[in-house]
Structure 1
Amino acid sequence: MKTISQRELRNENASIIDEVELGETFTVTRRGAPVASLTPYTGDAGLRCVKPARNRLDPSKLRRSDVAIPTAEVLDDLRGDR
């Protein structure tokens, strides 16, 4: 297990993640004190989805609304140009 500083993790993120992907484990330190462990993902059940993603609304299925007042007039009214 290698030890790296928080600054080193920030500055060399891509190369460190590449090493983790290859199986290396790191202890991340802040001011010399260990604060985190960076290990390869093993697919264990320790990670869980708190709120699963939901399907996004397809904008093409929305009803088009007809507005009697032109947008320019609404904007003028909001801006106080009247």
Structure 2
Amino acid sequence: MTRTIPHRELRNNSSAILREVAGGESFAITNNGEVVALLVPPAGPSSPPLRRRSARVRGGFGEIVRAGLDHPIQDDLDALRGDR
């Protein structure tokens, strides 16, 4: 059975509504009283899980040596703001 809800309820309770859809419930979404969309569970078995791959390190940024300052960076920021 399809339950009819306004789009505002879908927006405010999307997590709960999606759990119900995953459980087999169907929804007709209305806007100003007119049905504009149907939210139904997928017809077949759920899609296979996404394949994951390891992240690749590009650009050699890990090899950059951090610069050390002999004074707080806030001093530089204050000086730059004073030039405006």
RMSD in angstroms over aligned alpha carbons? 3.2
2:17 is aligned to 16
**Structure 2 CA distance for aligned equivalents of residues 17 and 80 of structure 1:** 53
* Structure-2 change in CA distance of 1:76 and 1:13 (3 Å): closer
**Structure 1 CA distance for aligned equivalents of residues 38 and 13 of structure 2:** 16
2:37 is aligned to 36
- TM-score, normalised with respect to structure 1: 0.55
**Structure 1 CA distance for aligned equivalents of residues 12 and 67 of structure 2:** 53
**Structure 2 CA distance for aligned equivalents of residues 40 and 34 of structure 1:** 18
**Structure 1 CA distance for aligned equivalents of residues 19 and 69 of structure 2:** 58
1:76 aligns to 2:71 (yes or no): no
- TM-score, normalised with respect to structure 2: 0.54
2:6 is aligned to 5
Amino acid of the structure 1 residue aligned with 2:11: R
Deviations 1:20-71 (A, max 9, x none): 0111111100111122221224546xxxxxxxxxx4869x825134367742
